[in-house]
Structure 1
């Protein structure tokens, strides 16, 4: 592959030029997030990410607004990186031992804490969260709020989550005291 600036020739006959995606300009992220929100409103995110139609529309609109001809993989990588950033932002507000300045929308932590937690991808963007929320926070909340895993909760499909009536054969799960402050189910079989 021959390098052409930040671009490389790809494909069987090297007939396609793919340029490195550059997200340093905050406007690129703003365009990206606003278009993604439009596509979600249009019903093009049936599950956790955009479907093929949503990505095609994102590509067309992003190219029209920015002049950047990014591939679907590059756009998907940005989606994944923003989800990582959003999850990190959310964890800042739930981790214990950190100070919060709700007026400024910042988290206060020691330099050592930031150094320890800057590992991995997106270090520059994570470090910027010392000074305020990420750009496009509202859009990211809409993009990821109900579709990302934060580690705060988990469920098993078909288990719990509804008002169920216990089956007589299963027992009613009465709680009985077994001594001290410890409680167990009356139907448990502990050894």
Structure 2
């Protein structure tokens, strides 16, 4: 299970935003090169090795949170603001009203959106153009589009890594052979990444076991020499 502390979230937001700025976002999420760079740089900065699926789940979760936050701050022009806490400052009645109007808004009652600058780089153009499925033009509330789960590892077990098809109420999306192949390739890339990471962990574990075994053998061998030193000295004349 991924451990997303405040510091780790700050770091991953910086890395995500960096990849977006250099053009490694395909449509609504990072492409393969972007996630690969994030995996490597996050490992360098934190010592933690997460899989592509874990990072993709975190991306999706932060995208939903950003969508909820934008709905709150864009709800009215005269919204109050607490600069010390970096959060919305509105009466209790307003928050109760928002709890019904914007599902999931309660998470920001006592703590505002963190890392907003980097999240804006990651998602603001999607929010403005309506290209993403939680945009205002879609008519779908963020909490309905993607359910939030604190367990990031379990959240993505059945998740398809390919881009979602655009669905309209009047027609079902048509998928051609080439689109199916693209989705298969995307899933294959994710499997390859996960396999490489798991293989690396196995090799690191095996290397640690070999090192520990060598230390134990050296210790037992030195103990044997120390105990049998007088006997070895008495038989040296035979040689």
Report which of the two has the higher share of strand. Answer: 1
Partner of 1:153: 137
2:91 and 2:55 map into 1 onto residues whose CA distance is: 32
Please list every run of 5 or more consecutive structure 2 residues that lacks an aligned counterpart in the other structure. Answer: 139-239
1:117 and 1:30 map into 2 onto residues whose CA distance is: 29
> How far did 1:40 drift?
1.5
- Alignment of 1:22 with 2:3, yes or no, is yes
- Alignment of 1:65 with 2:49, yes or no, is no
Moved over 4 A (4+): 102-105, 113-120
> How far did 1:139 drift?
0.3
1:51 and 1:109 map into 2 onto residues whose CA distance is: 42
1:28 and 1:151 map into 2 onto residues whose CA distance is: 27
Q: What is the TM-score of this pair, normalised by structure 1?
A: 0.57
Q: Higher RCO, 1 or 2 (CA under 8 Å, sep at least 6)?
A: 2
- Alignment of 1:92 with 2:72, yes or no, is yes
Q: How many residues align?
A: 129
Report which of the two has the higher share of helix. Answer: 2
- Alignment of 1:78 with 2:58, yes or no, is yes
1:113 and 1:68 map into 2 onto residues whose CA distance is: 41
Please give the per-residue CA displacement for 1:91-135, whole angstroms capped at 9, x wherever unaligned: 111235x95226554332526447657966xx8xx52x2245312
Q: CA RMSD in A?
A: 2.9
- Bigger mean CA deviation after superposition, 75-84 or 41-50: 41-50
Q: What is the TM-score of this pair, normalised by structure 2?
A: 0.46
